[in-house]
Amino acid sequence: MARKMKIGKGRSFGDIQVIAAGDFFQLPPESIDHPSPDYAFNSTVWNKTFSTNQFELSEVFSQTEPDFIEMLNQARIGKLTSKSEELLTSLTRPIPVPNIELCPLQVQARALISSHFDSLLGNPVRFRALDQVVTPERTILSRLLGRKDKEAYDQIAPEVLELKIGAQVICTQDINIGKIHIPKLAIGTVINFSTPGEADRLKIPYSSKDHQVSREWPVVQFENGKKILAVPIKFKFGGSNGMVHVEGSRTQIPLKLAPAGLVHEFQSHNRISTMLIVGLAYVAMSRAKSLGRLEVSNYLSGSIVSPEIVTSWYKKQPWARFLS
């Protein structure tokens, strides 16, 4: 935009100051329209823009256990010591988190979700999303979005959500109701279906004050003991189907079924042997905050690797520490 306005014409990012932060050792780049997307550090823009003032962040906030931090640092670069491999092997034991398994593949997550949901008693209650779009054509959001955009948005706010009493769910949005805070990805259980009037009598707060349609909505109790009436909220989206840019919103309950999750979502149990993409095992394990919350199965020595192109680039950086 700055370049189009002729501010800093011809300069990277229109001469606007930019802070780029990330970790090339994590999942490789993706592209919708390019068969083999390259890493940013191989572009001329990267070398021109970030030739100086590069820093490596070293302080860890997500974990506190020294052995766990050391093992994760080694897994990140694909070089595990025998001590760290012994630690990984010791994590092949069940942890007290029922019905939660971390899956690297969508097909595995869907199969586990379906199996657990079908085992619950009672008839499912269906909640259909309401889509609103701002485009030349006033059609529904899912028809205008490209396939990848639609899949990503359905993960956050499904077009159709079916729930039963007893179903484990994940909260897909930060919810703040007075002094009650339900963080995104909090795990809960559907304990009932109630109307807003019934929830008022029981003093159960709503997930949103903007939507009070008088039908039964799920009452969810989260691991922290807090209960909410999960009424729909508005999720804003943007995307393209290759011909037209779509901006719109989807109004849906901020929940999704949660007996299984993908590696970016929450920590629990992961199968190292099915981590097919370099960096995926490290990303999965780093989602756990403590060793007590991590179970690893099917670990084979040498199965955790890092992208060679990143390792080669990293070694050339004067600030690199973990490969020395």
Same-domain pairing of 241 and 177: yes
More confident residue, 243 or 55: 55
- Distances from the Cα of 106 to the Cαs of 110, 171, 264, 269, in angstroms? 6, 19, 12, 15
| Ramachandran class of 185: left when φ > 0, alpha when ψ lies in -120 to 50, beta otherwise | left
More confident residue, 276 or 57: 57
Domain count, the chain: 2
Q: Is 250 exposed, middle or buried (0-12, 13-18, 19+ CB in 10 A)?
A: buried
State the pLDDT confidence band at 56, using cuts at 50, 70 and 90. Answer: confident
Same-domain pairing of 127 and 63: no
Mean pLDDT over each residue of the chain, to the nearest integer: 78
Is 218 a residue whose pLDDT tops 90? yes
| 8 Å CB contact between 314 and 73 | no
pLDDT at 243: 54
Q: Which two structure tokens, joined as six digits, stand for 3? A: 């370049």
Sequence-ordered list of residues with C-beta below 8 angstroms from that of 203, at least 6 positions apart, any chain: none
Same-domain pairing of 312 and 181: no
The CA distance from 224 to 222, in Å, is 5
DSSP 205: P
Q: Is 210 exposed, middle or buried (0-12, 13-18, 19+ CB in 10 A)?
A: exposed
Same-domain pairing of 194 and 244: yes
Same-domain pairing of 148 and 293: no
Q: Which two structure tokens, joined as six digits, stand for 239? A: 């995307």
Burial 35-68 (b: 16+ CB within 10 A, else e): eeeeeebeeeeeeeeeeeeeeeeeeeeebeeeeb
Same-domain pairing of 41 and 80: yes
Question: What does the pLDDT average to over 110-115?
Answer: 77
pLDDT at 8: 54
The CA distance from 139 to 310, in Å, is 43
The CA distance from 151 to 296, in Å, is 28
Question: What does the pLDDT average to over 230-244?
Answer: 73
pLDDT at 284: 82
State the pLDDT confidence band at 265, using cuts at 50, 70 and 90. Answer: very low
> Among residues 165, 161, 190, 168, which one has the least CA distance to residue 100?
168
Sequence-ordered list of residues with C-beta below 8 angstroms from that of 15, at least 6 positions apart, any chain: 2, 7, 8
pLDDT at 128: 92
Same-domain pairing of 247 and 137: yes
Same-domain pairing of 113 and 242: yes
pLDDT at 216: 92
State the pLDDT confidence band at 46, using cuts at 50, 70 and 90. Answer: confident
Task: Give the domain extent around 99.
Answer: 1-104+263-324
Same-domain pairing of 232 and 129: yes
More confident residue, 9 or 221: 221
More confident residue, 185 or 215: 215
Residue 49 dihedral angles phi and psi, to the nearest 5°: -85, -40
Same-domain pairing of 229 and 136: yes
pLDDT at 134: 61
Same-domain pairing of 256 and 179: yes
pLDDT at 96: 64
| 8 Å CB contact between 299 and 89 | yes
pLDDT at 269: 42
Highest averaged pLDDT of the listed ranges 13-22, 33-42, 277-286, 308-317: 308-317
Question: What does the pLDDT average to over 13-22?
Answer: 81
Give me Rg for the CA atoms of the chain.
23
How many CB atoms within 10 Å of residue 108? 16
* Residue where a domain terminates, one of 261, 279, 304: 261
Same-domain pairing of 149 and 256: yes
The CA distance from 174 to 184, in Å, is 4
* Residue where a domain terminates, one of 234, 261, 288: 261
* Residue where a domain terminates, one of 212, 239, 261: 261
pLDDT at 245: 60
**Residues 272-288 pLDDT 10s:** 544 446 677 888 888 88
